Amino acid sequence: MTKYWFEDFAPGWTFENGPRTITAAEIVAFAREWDPQRFHTDEARARETPFGGLIASGWHTAGVAMRLMCDGYLLESSCIGSPGIDELKFLRPVRPGDALRFRSTALEAAPSKTKPNRGTVTFRWEIVNQHGEVALSMIGKQLFLRRPAG
């Protein structure tokens, strides 16, 4: 059942979800598969880097954002995809034990000029740690169907 339609994402709409606590085992497992740099895969070698210890891959953090977005509202929405991410910033390291929250803010909403049954929403998506610090920030767009008449 669809709960959220294009019209629900007016500029200023916000949503928060989480927390999701990240473990060292998750960090290492993701990194071994997708981003096998020493500061993601080896606690001892990570201590020798400027990070001073194990940190999550930024791609892992982005994946957590996507999961929290899906669990929070996207799976209940009329979303029909995304034309992409305009900006992606890894602002601070995510470490084992960090409790991450997802925050979404609608920045603009534009009905399609050629397909009247849909519109595009531009969002700022953030991952915030337990100290209120933004670890990841993305600006991107999603396409949503408009609420049916009646």
In a domain, 1, yes or no: no
Residue 149 has pLDDT above 90, yes or no: no
- The domain that holds 74 is classified in CATH as 3.10.129.10
In a domain, 14, yes or no: yes
Question: Contact, 131 vs 64, CB < 8 A?
Answer: no
Residue 111 sits in which domain range?
A: 6-145
What average pLDDT does the structure give for the chain?
Answer: 97
pTM metric for this prediction: 0.94
Q: Is residue 150 part of a domain?
A: no
What does the alpha-carbon distance between residue 111 and residue 143 come to, in Å, rounded to a whole number? 10
Residue 17: per-residue pLDDT: 96
Number of structural domains (the chain) is: 1
pLDDT value of residue 150? 73
